Amino acid sequence: MDHEQAFELLPGYLDQELSVSEALEFERHLASCEDCQQAYAMHREVSSQLKQAGLRVEAPKELVAKIKAALPGRRSPWERFTEGLQNWFGGGSRTWAPVGAMAMSVIALSWSVVLYLGVPTSEQRLTQEVVDDHIRSLQFNHISDVISTDKHTVKPWFNGKLDFAPPVIDLAQQGYPLVGGRLDYLNGRPVAVMVYRYKLHPLNLYVWPGNDAGAVPRIQAHQGYHLAHWSAAGMNYWAITDAGDNELNNFVVELRAHSAS
């Protein structure tokens, strides 16, 4: 990590917004860089001063009341819309009032359905989370915490860092060499990431305990990346790469075949 990357991560580190792996990488850089240590100390001092009670001035109640009274009353578009419907259905005649109430109920129900359908599912949220994390690992050049093509080096590196033992499989002979591994935070928990390559294409394989994805791998495209996810032997697997869907499918087939052997 260089100074520019460290400065970009500094605000997020102070606000505790970084992932586990990003925070660890920032702390490693901070421990050996005096310039970043000084910048970190200055940011902490400024943050501490801004939180002091003496810097806050509460406006007098009379001033608050005058400002509120001077502001023009504004109604939301929904309030103006419902008032118009009430005037249309209920203002002209009493006989239209029940019809107006029924119309209002139908509109409210329809609006609720639209809002409900617009909420992403848990799988959609997790898909986006995987894509975002994969992109971050490439942007910040943090593809691996441990760099090695030897599974006997990568697998022991996770010992003591996770509450499970991730399977680490070497697929170099199949065209997908293992290049390292890292810790990350996904789906609300720490996960293991095994990093492979297909030619010049990085391929992240996320693993954590559970059986959420189903036994049969499903491949999808999202934001220019191909993803596959499945579960096996009590583990969830998510693989993502910018290589083609055929290359990803072959990787999944080889990985599952060697996992079962």
- Residue 125 tokens read as 């949220």
Give residue 87's Cα distance to chain centre.
46
Q: How many residues does the chain have?
A: 261
pLDDT at position 48 = 67
- CA gyration radius for the chain? 27
Q: How far apart are CA 19 and CA 182, in angstroms?
A: 12
pLDDT at position 96 = 47
**Direct distance between the N- and C-terminal alpha carbons of the chain, in angstroms, rounded to an integer:** 39
Listed in sequence order, the DSSP H helices in the chain are 3-14, 20-31, 34-50, 61-70, 77-90, 97-118, 122-139, 151-157, 245-260
With beta carbons less than 8 A apart as the criterion, state whether 28 and 146 touch: no
Measured between alpha carbons, how far is residue 48 from residues 40, 51, 52, 57 in Å? 12, 5, 7, 17
> What is 122-260's CATH topology?
Phosphorylase Kinase; domain 1 (3.30.200)
Q: What is the pLDDT along the chain (261 residues), one digit of tens a residue?
A: 777 777 777 777 777 777 767 777 877 787 788 887 787 777 777 766 666 655 566 777 887 787 777 776 666 666 666 666 566 555 555 544 555 555 566 566 655 554 544 555 777 788 888 888 888 888 766 677 888 888 888 999 999 889 999 999 999 999 999 999 998 888 788 999 999 999 989 999 999 998 766 667 888 898 899 999 998 888 999 999 999 999 999 999 999 998 755
Measured between alpha carbons, how far is residue 242 from residues 5, 39, 139, 197, 247 in Å? 24, 36, 14, 10, 10
**Domains of the chain, residue spans:** 3-52, 76-118, 122-260
pLDDT at position 241 = 94
pLDDT at position 33 = 82
pLDDT at position 66 = 77
Listed in sequence order, the DSSP H helices in 91-121 are 97-118
Using DSSP's 3-state secondary structure scheme, residue 228 falls into strand
With beta carbons less than 8 A apart as the criterion, state whether 184 and 133 touch: yes
With beta carbons less than 8 A apart as the criterion, state whether 198 and 215 touch: no
The order of strands in the sheet holding 218-222 is 146-147, 178-186, 189-198, 201-209, 235-241, 225-232, 218-222
